[in-house]
Amino acid sequence: MAEVAVSSLTKVFPNGVRAIDSLDVSVNEGEFFALLGPSGCGKTTLLRMIAGLEEPTDGTISIGGKDVTRTQPGQRDVAMVFQDYALYPHMTVTDNISYPLKIRKMSKDERREGAARVAKGLQLEHLLDRRPAQLSGGQQQRVAVARAIVYKPSVFLFDEPLSNLDARLRLEARTFLKKLQRDLGSTTIYVTHDQSEALALADRIAVMRNGRIRQLAPAEEIYNRPTSVFVAGFIGSVPMNLLDARLDGERLHVGRSVLATPDHARREKTPESDFVLGIRPEHASLSLTETDGAVAGKVSVVELLGNDYLVTIENDTVTVQTTAPTAPEIGTRAWVTFDSGKALLYRRADGGLVGTDEQSFDDGEPDSIPSDAGPEALKTS
């Protein structure tokens, strides 16, 4: 295990694209740390610089307290699992797993013993004589992980290793990786664009945008208290409702409805009047009878989620996750109320959470909301 730290790290490609912009972050020993963000945010570039596969334009990288910024990849004591697994097609599973030991010039018997030991722990012992083309996607993924484990590195680096698997295999592999990391106690940095993966696996998550970190916090905090409109809209299998709101004294207006001001915003004295109200679908309640202090509209879409329904209300385009015994009919008039203890209020001017100052995470593109944006624009911002 080893701590990983980057300081003022910058990567500018020859075409002028600034992939990483003066980034500072530390990963603790034994931590499962996720880099999360949309395509092009710089997360894979950051991982490749830690691995030594990309050279920084500026800044430093240290592993275990040692500066490795200009150190060759093979001397950094890290192992990387790639998105495409990068297995050698002409080699057997045994040879693929043991290849790092061959590089270390270990004997053939030592290599075979190491491969067999790791393969047994990953339920691969019956596949040792096969080649990658004879394996399923999930089996190839486990072989790639086994190859990383046999090396016994200080740090594991994963670059979207589950993206090529189908939904069921991805879920099984996610559980496997979580248990494996806990058993090994290894420092792990995991790149993904899938927020469900990050929430399920990580101790802490760094949400990235335009080469900078917009929020860095434990997974639960990232989900329950996103500090910007960008993070709020990005995190969650169903995005957070983001609604145009106006504060008039103690009254919060959303469309024609007057709602309770979110608890965290009541403690703040702010001159602004225009805001964005954020509420997750599971923190909203649906009623088919007229309700005071509710957003009203007609049911436009109903989706079955298993035990729950996800109901979309037109007009204000609000989604609600409800456990109603039966689904409401399309076109039915409905009223939606919010849990004020779970609702969040964001400044319209810069998209920041009321009560926070996230200037240290500013990426030069504030999460501003155009003044003429309606609820639908807010929902996708």
Give pLDDT tens digits for 168-215.
Answer: 778 887 888 888 888 888 899 999 998 889 999 999 999 999 999 999
* Percent of the residues in the chain that have a pLDDT greater than 90, as a whole number: 45
What structural domains does the chain harbor? 4-224 (3.40.50.300), 229-380 (2.40.50.140)
Place of tokens 């270390």: 104
Q: Tell me the pLDDT tens digit for each residue of 300-331.
A: 999 998 888 999 998 657 899 988 788 889 99
Closest of 268, 215, 279 to residue 244, by C-alpha: 279
Q: How far apart are the first and last CA of the chain?
A: 39
Q: What is the DSSP letter of 132?
A: G
Query: What pLDDT score was predicted for residue 206?
Result: 96
User: What is the arithmetic mean of pLDDT over 127-132?
Assistant: 93
Non-local (6+) Cβ contacts of 127 within 8 A are 93, 119, 135, 139, 143
Report how far residue 148's alpha carbon sits from residue 159's, in angstroms, rounded to the nearest whole number.
13
Residue 269: pLDDT band (50, 70, 90) is low
Query: What pLDDT score was predicted for residue 365?
Result: 56
Structure tokens at 204: 């802490």
Q: Tell me the pLDDT tens digit for each residue of 6-42.
A: 999 999 999 999 999 999 999 999 999 999 999 899 9
pTM (two decimals): 0.84
Instruction: State the DSSP H helix or E strand holding residue 118, giving kind and residue range, or none if neither.
Output: helix 108-121
Query: What pLDDT score was predicted for residue 380?
Result: 28
User: What is the arithmetic mean of pLDDT over 79-104?
Assistant: 89
User: What is the arithmetic mean of pLDDT over 78-85?
Assistant: 86
The pLDDT of residue 260 is above 90: no
Higher pLDDT, 88 or 366: 88
Closest of 162, 39, 148, 30 to residue 97, by C-alpha: 148
Query: What pLDDT score was predicted for residue 363?
Result: 47
Residue 361: pLDDT band (50, 70, 90) is very low
Q: Tell me the pLDDT tens digit for each residue of 328-347.
A: 899 999 999 888 888 899 98
Closest of 266, 262, 253, 270 to residue 357, by C-alpha: 270
Angle between helices 137-150 and 93-103 (to 10 degrees): 20
Report how far residue 113's alpha carbon sits from residue 111's, in angstroms, rounded to the nearest whole number.
5
DSSP-derived pairing of the beta strands 4-12 and 58-63 = antiparallel
Residue 346 CA: distances (Å) to CA of 13, 19, 231, 260, 336? 34, 28, 11, 15, 20
Q: What is the mean pLDDT of the chain?
A: 85
